[in-house]
Structure 1
Amino acid sequence: MGKLKTGERKRPGGGYEKRFTIDGVRYSVYAERKDDLQAKEDAKRAQIKAGIYHTNETITLNQYFDEWIEGKALSVRPVTLYQYQRWYDCYVRKTIGRNKVRKLERRHIVSLMNSIAKKTSAAAANRIHVLVCSILKGATANDIIPRNVAAGIPALKIAGPPARETIHRELTDSELERFFSAAESSIYYMAFRFLLNTGTRAGECAALQWKDIDRENNIIHIRRTITKDRAGKWIVGEAAKTKTSRRDIPMNEAVKEIIDYQWNLYRALNGIISPFDFVFPNRSGGYANENALVNSLKFILKKYNKGAKVPIKPFSVHAFRDTFASRAIRAGVPPNTLKEILGHASLSMTMDLYAHVSQGDKRQAMEKLQTMSF
């Protein structure tokens, strides 16, 4: 591959961009391969010459979004593209999307956020604000608008406690004991135990194949995840969530017990185990997905709580990961080691998101510090 030509650049997130100017107006084209940039430029020049290309003055937010997301396709995962498209089509396309980008004002976006918050939630409104801000950031970089009118708008306050204190909380011993007692008949009983004992993500657990399990050296290789493609279809991703998500996790006795159980169950049902068979399959033997695990967990909780004197408060599949991480910190696992086990890119992510501090933790800390008092 030759050197980059004038106007061409390699994008930080992947792929290439070429900028060119016609009659003083700057345009951009994107391609995964550098060699495709010229064809993209020729096609856009032909549109401009034929008068069917939307100029900076006439382009609407909808029209610019369709260009913007194609550029994003070179640097973000397909599931992220799916989410962007779904959020935009649901909340923006038929509201402020028909506005010309140059005519958009801050009050249009504030009004949209307030409307979404009233009909759906403040969290959804904030998510759409971030998306619109990112789109207009691209429009600013492409000289369509002089400034991003969405930048600087404060996020709406979300009522109630954060998710880390409710559905993503650390589970208590009592909650775990009652949940697993109720979950024994579930096809995903061992999957839930695996999530709790390894801190893996639901998609990583569902994507595990027997070729990823080194039973001789007691190591689990995390190499892929169950994700969605751009159309929203569940697929086995060719890679884990991020580069740091690709990792090896040593098996302790509790994890080995879970893996051995699944191995013996597989042998009893199928006789032969293929390296490509899934460790925690769905009922048809294929891969499960996060929705299947979530729905199974909800069903177990609903069934248990129906006749329970002390119900279990709702929690998410992710709570198993939270519980693993928080207890690991409490047990003295070095934060940097925990970061590697969880597959996080930064230590701050590990500590900020998963190291939940209980009232008991704070009390013990103060008792230890008492020896320092005068």
Structure 2
Amino acid sequence: MGKLKKRADGLYKKSFMYDGKRYYVYGHNKAELEEKERVKKNQLIDGKKKHDTPTLNQYYESWMDSRQGTVKEATLRCQYFQFKSCADIVIDCLNKTLGELKLKDITPDDLRAVQRALIDGGNSEQTVNDKLAVLNHLFSDAYKERRIDYNPCIAVKNLKRTTPEARDTFHRALTIEETERFFKMAENSAYYDIYRFAINTGMRVGEIGALFESDIYDGVIHVRRTLTKAETGNMTIGETTKTIKASRNIPLNDAIKEILEHQRYINRMLRGDKVISIHQPIFTAPEGGLIVSAPTNREMLRICKKAEIEPFTMHAFRATFATRCIESGIAPKTLQELLGHTSIKMSMDLYGHVMDSTKQTAMNQLKII
């Protein structure tokens, strides 16, 4: 037992040892001291348990805190929802959620149970793989920190796809006929210039929404930032692009110049004589706010239905731009730089699947001997 000592202010002081360290409590009498010592010890024991043997949920909180400032807020927010959808699944044989299990006790079988539950809940195989990838990242870091002896995700295989890849459906490259039919029906859309700009530059919708007049000079579009979601869910203009390589320069051509001039004309019509800062977005939503993907894609769905073509999303314009570049003979390295990819392999893996007609044309022109 620690000694009781009365201080000059009339309070008693008591010390005790825990885990090799001395702690102090203060009170008016012996009973108060004993109660404060009990509470303090419980707090220390609980804290030590969380540190030495945290649950998955407890480790996730510290893991996320450690990544603040080094990972984009939009990425953290997305990973939070992916993690929660896994952590909230009940492991039937244990009658606990995955998040309630001790980090060190989670097994590959537990993760396979999560896979099955996510599939049964209506998630696609790719969505399940993406969610498990967040857990894999977390366990990998825990292993590096020596919190666990092995990463249980290593023994869990990704699910095989049973549905077509997005690049073959709503992210697909449009045929020339689809492109012509879509834009014919889109002429009166408030998003007309945004759609045209996307397919002519290969820029992501967030990059288009964060493009300022000051970013266009010397005959070049200087892509330097993108729209992003804060942790609150609100759309904001970020200070950087999606990745370091995404910061790039795209030369202007006549088609892009015409689109920009038309959009500037629309902006003058909407804003009248109001002075427009060169550091404000060129392309905005119809009501004047930042571009949001949901209404943009809803409008595309309406146009696709009217044009009688299979639905697609904004990303299809980027795939279409890349495919037209390949068909035109643009070098892979140039395509990589125009798209802002980190490697040529990424560009070719995503967009190197040119259409059958293009392959046939290439073979018809091929002469070896």
| TM, length-normalised to structure 1 | 0.80
Percent identical pairs in the alignment equals 35
Determine which of 73, 80, 103 is the counterpart of 1:85. Answer: 80
Determine which of 168, 181, 196 is the counterpart of 2:171. Answer: 168
Q: C-alpha separation between the residues in 1 aligned to 2:313 and 2:266?
A: 27
How far is 1:56 from its partner?
5.6
Secondary structure of the residue aligned to 2:228 is strand
Unaligned runs of 5+ in 1: 1-21, 25-45, 306-310
**Corresponding residue of 1:37:** none
Q: C-alpha separation between the residues in 1 aligned to 2:52 and 2:267?
A: 63
Q: Deviations over 1:106-162 (max 9, x none)?
A: 100001101101212212211121111111112212222111111131110111221
**Corresponding residue of 2:219:** 218
Determine which of 291, 304, 313 is the counterpart of 2:310. Answer: 313
Residue 210 of structure 2 contacts residue 226 of structure 2 at CA under 8 Å; is this kept in 1?
yes
Superposition CA RMSD, Å: 2.3
How far is 1:85 from its partner?
0.7
Q: C-alpha separation between the residues in 2 aligned to 1:210 and 1:48?
A: 60
Secondary structure of the residue aligned to 1:248 is strand
Name segments (4+ residues, structure 1) moved above 4 Å: 46-49
Question: Which entry has the higher C-alpha Rg, 1 or 2?
Answer: 2
Secondary structure of the residue aligned to 2:348 is helix
Residue 202 of structure 1 contacts residue 317 of structure 1 at CA under 8 Å; is this kept in 2?
yes
Q: Deviations over 1:292-340 (max 9, x none)?
A: 32222123224x16xxxxx201111101000101111111111111211
Determine which of 62, 67, 70 is the counterpart of 1:72. Answer: 67
- Give the total of aligned pairs: 322
Amino acid at match of 1:372: I
Q: Deviations over 1:340-365 (max 9, x none)?
A: 11111111111111223211232233
Secondary structure of the residue aligned to 2:154 is coil
Q: C-alpha separation between the residues in 1 aligned to 2:289 and 2:343?
A: 33
Determine which of 103, 106, 109 is the counterpart of 1:107. Answer: 109
**Corresponding residue of 1:41:** none
Amino acid at match of 1:245: A
Secondary structure of the residue aligned to 2:99 is coil
Residue 278 of structure 1 contacts residue 285 of structure 1 at CA under 8 Å; is this kept in 2?
no
Q: C-alpha separation between the residues in 2 aligned to 1:314 and 1:353?
A: 19
Q: Which moved more, 1:65-74 or 1:313-322?
A: 65-74
Residue 108 of structure 2 contacts residue 155 of structure 2 at CA under 8 Å; is this kept in 1?
no
Q: C-alpha separation between the residues in 2 aligned to 1:289 and 1:23?
A: 53
**1:172-251 → structure 2 map (5 Å cutoff):** 172-214=175-217, 217-251=218-252
**Corresponding residue of 1:52:** 46
Q: C-alpha separation between the residues in 2 aligned to 1:278 and 1:56?
A: 46
Unaligned runs of 5+ in 2: 1-17, 21-39, 90-96
How far is 1:368 from its partner?
3.9
Amino acid at match of 1:285: G
How far is 1:283 from its partner?
2.5
Q: Deviations over 1:18-61 (max 9, x none)?
A: xxxx979xxxxxxxxxxxxxxxxxxxxx9998333134653111
**Corresponding residue of 2:361:** 364
